Structures are given as structure tokens and as C-alpha cells.
Structure 1
């Protein structure tokens, strides 16, 4: 009986630890939303402090005693990082916009008073190249002559081309 209880305790600890790391993928120029923890964090009631760091060195975002603080924020995240929490019922998310390839890496969220230490791996993929179809327009069946050639470039993604 004791062995079964120990196995359940160890399994619970392993599963709980494994759930503290997640991977988020996005595209260059896009937006990513990173979750701070699987546990509820009530910022206002206890005036919690929450820190977000990128690769352990860059200060992405801070909430100090329940209030947003960008005083120590790395300039690379200015106007691109925000924290969502009020509408999410006790969960804190970091929202990064206009992603750059250099934003890829490990993001650490920690809440000292609650002992929360959560990491997220952000993978930023290169923006896909847009493919174009080129068409040359010339006069057909008219007496008019084009002095210049008109070249149309039409993006292929999302378009269906039909020739008659």
C-alpha cells in the first residue's frame, strides 16, 4: 500500500512539473500569447508581483504589486509586449506582437509570492515568401499598339486564376 502511495505522489510531481513548460509557435510579424501558469493568479487581491524574462537576461514585462511597470523593460519589447489578465479569470498571459526572429527562445514567468516559476519555449518561424504569377498584357484584336509592355504580378496565395 505504501509503495502505491509513493508511486502516485511521484507521478503527480512529475506530471505537475512537466505541465510547467510549454512550446508556442508563431510566424515572424505575427502575435504570440504565452501563459504564465496553470494556477490561478489573483493580482489585485494580494497585489502580486509577476516578472517575464526572455532567455533569463532580457526584461520583457513586470507587474509590481499588482501594477504594470515598464521602467526596466528591454527597449526591444517597447510597445510590443502586454500582459492580459483581467478578462481571463485569474490567469496571466504575455502577449507579444510584431514578432521578430530574435524573439524566439525561452520565456520565464515567475511569481515570487506564490512560488510560480513557469517557462515557455517560443519558436518564431520565418515569414513565408509570397509567390507571384507574372502576366504580360498586350493588345489583342485592336488597332491600338501598346508602346510599353504591361506586366501584372498577382499573389498566388488565396487567389484562384481562371483563363478564358
Structure 2
């Protein structure tokens, strides 16, 4: 019984500095928001230093003493990563990642050294499925002096509501 109590007692301080691992899913080409939240962050003010890392090696985004810094940002995240400042004062350091690539899949670590906060999120990027279409041609051979005409119809098979119609230069009449 004594060993179990000591283990629980030792685990409580660790839970104060790190949150549970979260999973966020996105699709190739879309945008997602990676969360980083802790009650201590709300009290730190606007002069926070925050580091976002991908798989512990790539520098995704930094805030140094309250200022955005992309000086050492990995080129893969140029013009695709930003921290949303709207909720920063309430302790939410949210990283928006746009135009997702399959290589963005992995673990993202949000580290706030002054508050001793580490928050990790697992990002799963799915491949975008290209829609499948069926092409149909309707032909009129014409009669007498009338020329034949062709109507080309492309119908999406992936459950899309819209159908796309392409007509030949001549009407079917």
C-alpha cells in the first residue's frame, strides 16, 4: 500500500506540467488547429516564450518574449504556420497549420519554458481522395440535312450533389 501511494504522489507533480496527448486529424490540403492549453499560461501574460516542434526535430514556430519569430523556422512551414493570438491571453496557444502535407503527420510539441508546460498533439494527415467520374456521350446522327450532334456528360460517382455538363458546340436540336 505504501508503494502505491508514493507512486501516485510522485505522479501528481508531473501531471501539472504536461497535459494528456491529443489526436487531431486532417486531410491533405486542408487547415487544422493544434491546441496547447494550460491554466498557468493565462497568468504568464503576453511576454511568453513558446516553441512548437514537429517530431522533436523541426522548428515549426516560435514566440520569443511575446513576439513571433520565424527566424529559425524549418522551410517546410514557411507561410503555412501561425499562432492564433485571439485566445493567447486566456492560456490557449493554438497553432494553425495550413495546406497540410502528408509529411506533416507526427507529434507536435508545444513547450513553454517559463511556465514549465509541455503539451503534445498527434497529427494524422489523410490523403485527399480524388473524386471519381463517369463520362457519358449521347449522339444524334441527324436526319436529312441536319448534322449529327454530341452531348458529353460527366457525372461524379463519389456522392457529390453537383453534376457537370459539357456540351458540344452544336445543340442536339
The bucket for the TM-score relative to the shorter chain is 0.7 to 0.9
Greater mean alpha carbon deviation, residues 96-105 or residues 33-42: 33-42
Greater mean alpha carbon deviation, residues 45-54 or residues 106-115: 45-54
Change (3 A) 1:38 1:146: farther
Counterpart in the other structure of 1:20: 20
Specify every segment of 5 or more residues in structure 1 that has no aligned partner in the other structure, as ranges. Answer: none
Counterpart in the other structure of 1:53: 53
Query: Retained in 1: the 8 A contact 2:87–2:93?
Result: no
Query: Retained in 1: the 8 A contact 2:17–2:116?
Result: no
Greater mean alpha carbon deviation, residues 45-54 or residues 99-108: 45-54
Query: Retained in 2: the 8 A contact 1:40–1:91?
Result: no
Counterpart in the other structure of 1:137: 138
Query: Retained in 2: the 8 A contact 1:34–1:93?
Result: yes
CA distance in 2: counterparts of 1:38 and 1:25, whole angstroms: 22
Specify every segment of 5 or more residues in structure 2 that has no aligned partner in the other structure, as ranges. Answer: 164-173
Question: For residues 61-140 of structure 1, what are the structure 2 equivalents within 5 Å?
Answer: 61-87=61-87, 89-139=90-140
Deviations 1:19-51 (A, max 9, x none): 431111111011111111343524873511000
Deviation at 1:67, TM superposition (A): 0.6
The normalised TM-score by structure 2 is: 0.75
- Secondary structure of 1:56's match? coil
Query: Retained in 1: the 8 A contact 2:37–2:91?
Result: no
Question: For residues 27-42 of structure 1, what are the structure 2 equivalents within 5 Å?
Answer: 27-42=27-42
Q: How many residues align?
A: 159
CA distance in 1: counterparts of 2:54 and 2:70, whole angstroms: 15
Tell which structure's C-alpha radius of gyration is larger.
Answer: 2
The normalised TM-score by structure 1 is: 0.79
Deviation at 1:159, TM superposition (A): 1.7
